[in-house]
């Protein structure tokens, strides 16, 4: 190998290492179950988000951003693209079967999803940090979850599915609600009860 080839390979190695470390650090940050009752987050960038005392952040209609690509295989082996749900209010919930706050909020999500079925609201879970599907499928059965979840064991959809500076999913559990145009309208970074979950959905259902 020539000296120039060795130098080129050496210069690329640190960049690859830094990239890997950066992605791993972000992934590890997502792996922890979030229990921040204040729902605080450093979204980055210039934002015009409004956070209420209940830890829910919202964006005004004219200031909402679209998500990145959120598509892949669900826990039951089907293909799902969130973009296909445009025209509905879409609730995106990041969860893991290993996460105690996820278990606490699951009955509320299942109840609201069943009651709003066919009323212009779609629920999609993003299951992460479960190394195989069996615990996640058992979780869904235990809590009677009626909606699909994208299987995202490495957290790639959660990490890269939201533009920087938006109301993105962060931590487990966290919830984002999209308006009927597919834009990010509200976010919570904590486990939700039925009342708080409905408070994120109902104003968007009333929008024209």
pTM of the complete model: 0.80
Query: What is the rounded CA–CA span in Å between residue 93 and residue 106?
Result: 10
pLDDT at 85 over 80: yes
Q: Find the DSSP H helices in 97-192.
A: 100-115, 133-143, 156-160
pLDDT of residue 165: 87
Question: Within 13 Å and on the Cβ side, how many CA atoms surround 184?
Answer: 26
pLDDT of residue 43: 40
For the record, the structure tokens of 116 come out as: 């709003």
Query: What is the rounded CA–CA span in Å between residue 81 and residue 71?
Result: 4
Contacts of 46 (CB under 8 A, 6+ apart): 165
Query: What is the rounded CA–CA span in Å between residue 136 and residue 95?
Result: 9
pLDDT of residue 171: 85
| pLDDT band at residue 88 under the 50/70/90 scheme | very high
Contact criterion met (CB below 8 Å) for 51 and 42: no
Per-residue model confidence as pLDDT tens digits over 144-171: 999 999 999 999 999 999 988 899 998 8
pLDDT of residue 36: 44
pLDDT at 46 over 80: no
For the record, the structure tokens of 203 come out as: 């104003």
Percent of the chain scored above 90 by pLDDT?
Answer: 70
Rounded mean pLDDT, 102-112: 98
């Amino acid at each position: 190998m020539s000296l120039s080839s060795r130098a080129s390979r050496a210069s690329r190695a640190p960049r690859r290492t830094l990239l890997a470390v950066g992605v791993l650090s972000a992934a590890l940050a997502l792996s922890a179950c979030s229990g921040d009752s204040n729902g605080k987050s450093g979204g980055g960038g210039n934002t015009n988000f409004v956070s209420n005392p209940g830890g829910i952040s919202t964006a005004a209609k004219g200031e909402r951003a679209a998500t990145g690509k959120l598509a892949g295989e669900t826990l039951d082996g089907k293909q799902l693209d969130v973009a296909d749900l445009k025209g509905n209010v879409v609730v995106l919930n990041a969860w893991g079967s290993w996460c105690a706050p996820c278990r606490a909020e699951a009955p509320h999500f299942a109840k609201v999803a069943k009651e709003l079925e066919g009323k212009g609201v779609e629920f999609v879970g993003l299951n992460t940090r479960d190394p195989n599907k069996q615990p996640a499928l058992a979780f869904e059965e235990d809590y009677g979850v009626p909606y699909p979840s994208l299987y995202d064991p490495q957290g790639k959809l959660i990490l890269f599915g939201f533009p920087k500076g938006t109301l993105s999913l962060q931590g487990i559990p966290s919830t984002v609600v999209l308006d009927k145009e597919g834009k990010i309208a509200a976010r919570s970074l904590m486990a939700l009860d039925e009342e708080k979950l409905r408070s994120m959905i109902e104003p968007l259902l009333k929008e024209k």
